[in-house]
């Protein structure tokens, strides 16, 4: 199946939550929308789900307008940051909830619950009281519950946002394999850069209701296209060369006697396997990751790898 947002706009009073957004999600993809809080990414998710009607534009499923389809007829699963497990059900009862609503028989429900709990690493947890679960276990149960009805598309809205960093990283590592094994397409929204880059087959960068950049994560990082995307992704070396702007990646520089960029070290910080170098140059203050230690006020020449420099859109406001 293919889901498509076609020139979708949503306004809440004076706020343009989504502004002329178009996006296609193909079967088997894990698409991640990355953006700051309030950028419109959760509203986009709600539009796909049928929980929010667009003011303009269409949602298409396999080319057909889905406007008349309520959420329960869109073959969509939902998982949110607040997993809200049902406290009066045990783990099995939570996972099989959607299956009961669909009228599946007891033996088929039990088989599906066992299959999904094994898939999310909770084999044997069927009878556990949900009040005894850790945060990570509860999120796994919520994921299993979302996958139980075998949705064609799973929508995940900041699902790991309430977890500590180590647990978030662990579940981020596991999620693509779980989705692949289940054969589920997913649209995931987050404000966390590490999570987005780790998960995405295709990354969508949003801000102020607009989609700014779409592509494989490595391509988006290497070629952000605009100053806005470069700054949001954390690129610090945005320089003006002639009539245009460029972004120089922090890993673009090598200390070399014949380097074309000359500068003076402002500070060098040891980071274990590299040194963070701040250097004053004719292009401004730049930051690089280099192999060798340097000292403040030391003169340095740097060779810049042209493959790690990207030109930015000249029509994007820079100042």
DSSP secondary-structure letter at 90?
Answer: B
In a domain, 50, yes or no: yes
Single pTM value for the model: 0.90
Same domain, residue pair 289 and 182 = no
Asked if 22 and 203 count as a contact pair (C-beta separation under 8 A), the reply is: no
CB 229, CB 235: distance < 8 Å:
no
Residue 319 lies in a domain: no
Digit-coded pLDDT (tens) for 178-211:
999 999 999 999 999 999 999 999 999 999 999 9
Residue 316 lies in a domain: no
Burial 69-82 (b: 16+ CB within 10 A, else e): eeeeebebbbbbbe
Same domain, 203 and 246: no
Residues 69 and 192 in one domain: yes
Same domain, 160 and 242: no
Of the three residues 222, 254, 269, the one that is the final residue of a domain is 222
Task: Please count the structural domains in the chain.
Answer: 2
Instruction: State the chain's mean pLDDT as an integer.
Output: 93
The CATH number of whichever domain residue 291 belongs to comes to: 2.40.50
Residue that terminates a domain, selected from 167, 195, 222: 222
User: Which CATH number characterizes residue 92's domain?
Assistant: 3.40.50.300
Task: State whether 79 and 132 are in the same domain.
Answer: yes
- Residues 180 and 278 placed together within one structural domain of the fold: no
Averaged over 87-105, what is the pLDDT?
91
Q: Please give the residue range of the domain that contains residue 282.
A: 237-311
CA 316, chain centre distance (Å):
24
What is the β-pairing status of strands 185-190 and 30-34? parallel
Question: What residues form DSSP beta bridges with 281?
Answer: 263, 284
- Among 222, 255, 278, give the residue marking a domain's end: 222
Q: What is the pLDDT of residues 119-152, one digit of tens each?
A: 999 999 999 999 999 988 999 999 999 999 999 9
Residues 44-69 pLDDT 10s: 999 999 999 999 999 999 999 998 89
Question: 3-class DSSP state for residue 48?
Answer: helix
Mean pLDDT confidence for 162-168: 84
Question: Same domain, yes or no, for 286 and 191?
Answer: no
* DSSP helix, strand, coil percent of the chain (3-state; round to 5): 30, 35, 35
């Amino acid at each position: 199946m293919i889901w498509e947002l076609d020139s979708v706009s949503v306004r809440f009073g004076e706020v343009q939550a989504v502004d002329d957004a178009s996006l296609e999600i193909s079967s088997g993809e894990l698409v991640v929308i990355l953006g700051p809080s309030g950028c419109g990414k959760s509203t986009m998710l709600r539009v796909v789900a049928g929980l929010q009607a667009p003011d303009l534009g269409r949602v298409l499923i396999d080319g057909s307008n889905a406007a008349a389809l309520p959420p329960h007829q869109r073959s969509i699963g939902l998982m949110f940051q607040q997993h809200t497990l049902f406290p009066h059900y045990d783990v099995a009862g939570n996972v099989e909830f959607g299956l009961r609503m669909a009228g599946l028989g007891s033996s088929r429900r039990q088989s599906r619950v066992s299959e999904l709990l094994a898939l999310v690493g909770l084999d044997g947890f069927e009878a556990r009281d949900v009040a005894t679960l850790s945060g990570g276990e509860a999120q796994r149960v919520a994921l299993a519950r979302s996958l139980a009805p075998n949705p064609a598309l799973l929508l995940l809205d900041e699902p790991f946002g309430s977890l500590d960093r180590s647990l978030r990283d662990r579940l981020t590592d596991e999620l693509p394999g779980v989705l692949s094994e289940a054969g589920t397409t997913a649209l995931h929204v987050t404000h966390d850069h590490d999570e987005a880059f780790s998960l995405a087959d295709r990354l969508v960068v949003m801000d102020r209701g607009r989609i700014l950049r779409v592509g494989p994560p490595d391509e988006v990082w290497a070629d952000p296209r605009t100053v806005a995307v470069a700054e949001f992704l954390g690129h610090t070396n945005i320089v003006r060369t002639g009539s245009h702007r460029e972004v120089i990646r922090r890993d673009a520089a090598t200390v070399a006697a014949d380097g074309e960029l000359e500068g003076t070290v402002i500070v060098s910080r040891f980071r274990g396997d590299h040194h963070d170098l701040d250097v004053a140059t004719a292009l401004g203050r730049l930051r690089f990751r280099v192999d060798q230690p340097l000292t403040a006020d030391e003169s340095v020449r740097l060779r810049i790898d042209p493959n790690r420099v990207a030109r930015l859109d000249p029509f994007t406001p820079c100042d």
